[in-house]
Amino acid sequence: MPFNELLSDLAALYPSDRLLTAAAQIMPYESDGLTAFRGRPSGVVLPVTADEVVETVRLCHRHDVPFMARGSGTSLSGGSVPVPDGLVIGLNRLNRILRYDPLHRVAVVEPGVINLRVSEHVAADGLYYAPDPSSGPVCTIGGNVAFNSGGVHCLKYGMTANHVLGLKCVLPDGEVVTLGGESLETVGPDLIGMFAGSEGLFGIALEITLRLLPRPEVYRTFLAAYDTLSAAGDAVSMVVASGLLPGAMEIMDRLAIDAAEAAVNAGYPADAQAVFLVELEGPREEVAAEEVRLMKLLDDSGATEIRVAKDDAERLTFWKGRKSAFSAVGRLSPDFIVQDGVVPRSRLGEALGEIERLSQEFGIRVANVFHAGDGNLHPLIMYDGRVAGALENAERLAGEILRLCIRMGGSITGEHGVGLEKRAYLGEMYEAADTRTMFAIRDAIDPKSLANRGKMLPDAEAPALASHGAHPLEQQGVISRM
């Protein structure tokens, strides 16, 4: 078998404690943040140098064994579920900041560096790394690049791709290439923009050059409470239409508020059906002028209560509640699906009202948490996996929310990626010619389809949408139930 031949070569490259093949050793790698699905690899390797990663990829190419690079496994779309019978390349031990230049505001890091560690490393020089996903304390920069992660401040500062200047990568055939450099100005096609968000299909990033930003002089963080979720959504449209560009705008509904309160006691209004978090940041004089405009907008939007964080501690408490929401919902339900669709900001209120209707129609509780500034919805669909048919019903509701996003001119993903979960919906969002182009690019880079096989793009024609029974990917043998 190809893997047995590969295993012999890997044993010459890795000591036994970094080459895992026993069932108990590989079990922790079988699933990611989307725990409904799993895949069992034939083995896991834990490289400690970039050279080991390169040689491992070359061996996989030689033996025709599919591989998947994995960081912290926080993907919420099944993007880091192993390729069945393939190899997992765990990158957590490649966690060094290789170079830091505060004058030119760049840092070169290995893929296993934790997101939050970058900002901590450069804080003494008044700098920080802007992309801040909720999983920032545990997720890795390599995974952020693979999924083009965003975070609560992506409205003003953009996604990961907007902060990656250069990449040193190993392609699926083992060739090592350098993309970009250390400048925002590039010549030729935007290859970094293509690699970021490719979900591991184009290879593995070995070194990542990050753009750092000066920390804003001041922050002003506002919390507005509303009687309805749609009213909070409409408030977002008012802020955007005014021309203000806050650093962040986030909304949580009543269920998400309850979960956050139980988890971290954020002090959100007890009777609000939705809270709207808005953060202004920048030079002191500019923020002071914007604060006057924002307060009037929030008052005109029908907010029942408006709070302004009185100090940095209260500001961090506001955000701690929001960033804990995903995990905190586990206090309300034994299982849940985190969806990731996008709608135009002008239709947020309409979309939220429709999600509430769908929740009632399906008889499933849905907690809504989302990046309001760019219309990136994160409905958390609650179910009990111990009840027969509950997961399938929750998946059908998740699919209807994705279709809603498509109908409104949005997208099936904002930052969590397509992974395994959303491949079946590509045919509804894209024309056949678009999908063929995606395949052509993937095939040109990885004709053997070894790198993270089965993610984002189907191996053949996209499967039919799940309507009942097994998930379409389960029918293909790509995934299995937990």
Instruction: Parse the chain into domains and list their residue ranges.
Output: 2-90, 97-214, 217-417
For 414-432, what is each residue's pLDDT tens digit?
A: 999 999 999 989 889 999 9
What does the alpha-carbon distance between residue 270 and residue 272 come to, in Å, rounded to a whole number?
A: 6
Q: Are 324 and 316 in contact (CB under 8 A)?
A: no
Supply angle C-alpha 261, 267, 272, rounded to 5. Answer: 80
Q: Who contacts 51 (Cβ-Cβ below 8 Å, separation ≥6)?
A: none
The helix (run of H) or strand (run of E) holding residue 209 is strand 204-211
- Provide the percentage of residues in the chain whose pLDDT is more than 70: 95
Tokens of residue 380, six digits: 């958390």
What does the alpha-carbon distance between residue 246 and residue 248 come to, in Å, rounded to a whole number?
A: 5
What does the alpha-carbon distance between residue 99 and residue 83 come to, in Å, rounded to a whole number?
A: 33
Is residue 462 very low, low, confident or very high in pLDDT (cuts 50, 70, 90)?
very low
Over residues 388-408, mean pLDDT: 95
Supply angle C-alpha 337, 343, 345, rounded to 5. Answer: 125
Burial of 469 (0-12, 13-18, 19+ CB in 10 A): exposed
Residue 461 has pLDDT above 50, yes or no: no
Q: Compare 237 and 129 and report the one with higher pLDDT.
A: 129
Residue 470 has pLDDT above 60, yes or no: no
Burial of 438 (0-12, 13-18, 19+ CB in 10 A): middle
Q: Which fold has domain 217-417?
A: Vanillyl-alcohol Oxidase; Chain A, domain 3 (3.40.462)
Over residues 450-465, mean pLDDT: 69
Residue 464 has pLDDT above 50, yes or no: no
Instruction: Name the nearest CA neighbour of 381 among 369, 370, 397, 392.
Output: 397
Instruction: Name the nearest CA neighbour of 15 among 48, 57, 41.
Output: 48
pLDDT at res. 469 = 39
* DSSP 8-state code for residue 311: S
Q: Report helix angle 390-407 to 348-362, nearest 10.
A: 160
Is residue 288 very low, low, confident or very high in pLDDT (cuts 50, 70, 90)?
very high
Instruction: Name the nearest CA neighbour of 164 among 153, 176, 180.
Output: 180
For 36-66, what is each residue's pLDDT tens digit?
A: 788 999 999 999 999 999 999 999 999 999 9
pLDDT at res. 408 = 96
Q: Which fold has domain 97-214?
A: 3.30.465
Beta-bridge partners for 280: 220
Tokens of residue 360, six digits: 């009632």
In this structure, what are the phi and psi dihedrals at residue 315, rounded to the nearest 5 degrees?
-60, -45
Q: Who contacts 103 (Cβ-Cβ below 8 Å, separation ≥6)?
A: none
Supply angle C-alpha 339, 342, 343, rounded to 5. Answer: 130
For 166-212, what is each residue's pLDDT tens digit?
A: 999 999 999 999 999 998 877 788 999 999 999 999 999 999 999 99
What does the alpha-carbon distance between residue 14 and residue 138 come to, in Å, rounded to a whole number?
A: 26
Beta-bridge partners for 211: 106
For 346-364, what is each residue's pLDDT tens digit?
A: 888 889 889 999 999 999 9
Give the number of residues written for the chain. 482
Is residue 1 very low, low, confident or very high in pLDDT (cuts 50, 70, 90)?
low
Q: How many CA atoms lie within 13 A of 251 on its CB side?
A: 32
Instruction: Name the nearest CA neighbour of 203 among 452, 394, 377.
Output: 452
pLDDT at res. 251 = 93
Backbone CA torsion sign across 74, 79, 84, 88: negative
Q: Report helix angle 229-242 to 284-300, nearest 10.
A: 140
How far separated are the first and last CA of the chain, in Å rounded? 27
pLDDT at res. 459 = 57
287: left (phi over 0), alpha (psi -120 to 50) or beta: alpha
Over residues 241-268, mean pLDDT: 91
Q: Are 92 and 18 in contact (CB under 8 A)?
A: no
Number of neighbouring beta carbons within 10 Å of residue 435: 17
Is residue 480 very low, low, confident or very high in pLDDT (cuts 50, 70, 90)?
very low
Tell me yes or no: is domain 2-90 CATH 3.40.50.720.
no
Query: What letter represents residue 320's amino acid?
Result: K
What does the alpha-carbon distance between residue 244 and residue 345 come to, in Å, rounded to a whole number?
A: 14
